[in-house]
Amino acid sequence: MPRTRTALVASLLCAAAPALVPAEAKEAPKDWEKVVPGSLAELEKDIGQVLEETKTPGAGIALVSRDGVVWEAGLGLADVATGRAATPDTLFRIGSVTKGLVALSVLMLVEEGKLRLEDPLRPLVPDVFFENRWEATDPVRVVHLLEHTTGFDDWSFREYASSDPKPLSLTEGLAYAPGSRVSRWRPGTRMAYCNSGPPLAARAVERLTGIPFEDFVQRRIFDPLGMPTATFLENDTVKRLGATLYHPDGVTPYPYWHVLMRPAGSVSASAREMGRYVRMYLNRGSLDGARLVSEKSIDRMEVPETTDAARAGLRLGYGLGNYATVKGGFVVRGHDGGVEGGLARVAYLPEVGVGWVILINSGSGEAMKNINFLVLNTLTRNVTRSTPPPPSRVSPETRRAFTGWYVNDSPRMERLRFLDRILGPLHVRLGEEGLTTRTLFGKKKEYLAVTDRLYREKEEPAATVALLDTQEGRKVALGFASMARVASPLIWLRTGLLVLCLMAMASALLFALVWVPRWLFGRLRRAPAIAVRAFPLLSVLCLVGSVALVAAAEDDFLRRFGRATPWSAGFMLGTLGFALASAMSVLLAFGPRSRFVGRGVRWHARAVALACGLVAVYLGASGILGLQTWR
């Protein structure tokens, strides 16, 4: 969610700090990525410092191996108001970590012969709406739901904002706002994270087994693994043992979020319980004599297969409710989760035989990132890192074919694609030994060739970038994103127009500092002259106001914009006002009334009017003008 105001305040404070803090009091912040605790006591102390720095009240931590528990702890407070301490048995929200439970459930039915990953979805859930114009040749399949390759939009703001305390059935949740479940591209080609995919798979499990999905998970996963308090619902145990979730100030609580489709991310569980869950993965599907799924099924969970990138040989990415990333020279598997005021991470290194759980009751990504580094560094401080693949050479043909500009063509939310087009272009330059990526703002990363089409970061053990020839053209797979080739002139045209439009619109605000006081003091009396000046300014103010509403919503964005509120209504009216004022600006600046102003004022009004008009056309084509975010 947007944090513009927070970032601006932070940057201003950082800029002022040298003048405000005595030299002897200055201390550079720790680079937690490089801190390697020498013992569990040091780890506990360092985590406590991270919690304090980030205003995160509490955490549940579990470090495990194949054979048992290395360390379990509750640090800080589960509830600030009462002073209740966090313990290893405190229940935290695990968010999207829940999706791994859906994948396990599906694989259980696959092993029982009741289902296949390749089965088309339509016959399995005839009672649920979704749309795919490629259904005749490329149907949405069960595997696409779990690997997020359906092409569906993510949940709408309305779905995120839903929090009905009356437990809805999965069918009711899926029927709440089904319009986002439309395949935007051919299923099984690109990955875009979508919260409605796993609930659709869970609905298939319900229909095949005849019992609610939550009951299936309780009997087949929670009970065998020894997770007695893990639950999808806000029950008495959650009210008694659950951690309160907090805003960034670490004091203001969030209410419990009754997730619309519970298989997407509703579970509450303790660090102790989730440690047992991770140990099941380390033991390849079993724990303490209870086998959930076969080793083959765990292997399948860990590897993506249904994207163009996977077919090109990229083995890291999003598998079945389980993804692999590279951290600190290791391939880390697992899943992250997040709800408002709470973050979770379950991760493991199967080759090393260790894993960990981090649960916190704040939404601080900084806290999660730093604690994760501390835990990873602790568990691997005596482990030899894998030797990276030997570097390869890049053919001249590949260098010529793939050097150029690319833009993300697998956005999580289609409504935000307009931002990717103007702010997210990535330049890829191929050399003899690898490639370099550079963002529009100059940030660079270098990769070494593993093969002519696969690339890895220096010292990293596996490829994370792939060059693709697809039916739709040349692409670059980078992490989870699919980047499509875009002609360089188009990039520069968009960028140039954006810069010119922003400069012109900013000048309207500066120019207003001159003419508005003159008008207020009666120096400007002719109405036509005022209108030519006023409408460009009004247009800019409407747009600035709309953006300010989004920025100011910050950590309450979903409740304020996923429902009909003064915030969402203000955004709708502000963007409509921007469109109308832009149209009036063009009419006045180029119409007969412009003769009532001086030449300089006239040309300035025309420049601002054209800038506002271009931005209005772009936002209108992107569906932003008059957007009712609560629908």
Distance (Å) of CA 229 to CA 59, 89, 270: 17, 9, 8
Tokens read off for 334: 């697992």
Do 140 and 109 sit in the same domain of this protein? yes
pLDDT in the model for residue 527: 63
Residues 6 or more apart whose CB falls under 8 angstroms from that of 482 comprise: 189, 190, 191, 307, 308, 309, 408, 409, 410, 475, 476
- Domain assignment of residue 279, yes or no: yes
> What CATH number did the domain enclosing 140 receive?
3.40.710.10
Distance (Å) of CA 415 to CA 177, 419, 555: 16, 9, 20
- Domain assignment of residue 512, yes or no: yes
Among 326, 350, 379, where does a domain finish? 379
- Domain assignment of residue 9, yes or no: no
Per DSSP, what are the bridge partners of residue 355? Answer: 64, 348
How would you class 239 by CB atoms within 10 Å of its CB: exposed for 0-12, middle for 13-18, buried for 19 or more? Answer: exposed
Find, among 248, 173, 199, the residue nearest to 7 by Cα.
248
Among 486, 521, 552, where does a domain finish? 486
Residue 96 falls in the annotated catalytic set: yes
Is the torsion defined by CA of 189, 266, 259, 560 positive or negative? negative
pLDDT in the model for residue 510: 95
- Domain assignment of residue 541, yes or no: yes
pLDDT in the model for residue 16: 31
Do 475 and 507 sit in the same domain of this protein? no
Residue in 11, 39, 65, 96 annotated catalytic:
96
Domain count, the chain: 3
pLDDT in the model for residue 518: 85
Measured CA to CA, the distance from residue 147 to residue 320 in angstroms comes to 5
Do 510 and 543 sit in the same domain of this protein? yes
Do 239 and 329 sit in the same domain of this protein? yes
Question: What's the whole-model pTM score?
Answer: 0.92
pLDDT in the model for residue 526: 64
Give the CB-side neighbour count of residue 525, counting CA atoms within 13 A. 2
**Percent of the residues in the chain that have a pLDDT greater than 70, as a whole number:** 95
Dihedral pair phi/psi, residue 98, rounded to 5°? -55, -30
Do 454 and 503 sit in the same domain of this protein? no
pLDDT in the model for residue 388: 87
Over its C-alpha atoms, the chain yields an Rg (Å, rounded) of 27
Do 291 and 172 sit in the same domain of this protein? yes
CB 317 within 8 A of CB 310: yes
- Domain assignment of residue 106, yes or no: yes
Could you tell me the residue range of the domain that residue 287 belongs to? Answer: 92-379
pLDDT in the model for residue 521: 83
- Domain assignment of residue 554, yes or no: yes
Do 101 and 200 sit in the same domain of this protein? yes
Do 519 and 612 sit in the same domain of this protein? yes
Do 341 and 411 sit in the same domain of this protein? no
Number of Cβ atoms within 10 Å of the Cβ of 7:
11
pLDDT in the model for residue 25: 41
Q: Position 574: which residue type?
A: G
Do 262 and 341 sit in the same domain of this protein? yes
Residues 6 or more apart whose CB falls under 8 angstroms from that of 5 comprise: 551, 552, 554
> What CATH number did the domain enclosing 451 receive?
2.40.128
Do 212 and 237 sit in the same domain of this protein? yes
Among 344, 379, 414, where does a domain finish? 379
- Domain assignment of residue 69, yes or no: no
Do 462 and 512 sit in the same domain of this protein? no
pLDDT in the model for residue 310: 96
- Domain assignment of residue 7, yes or no: no
pLDDT in the model for residue 28: 54
pLDDT-flagged residues of the chain (< 70): 1-29, 525-528
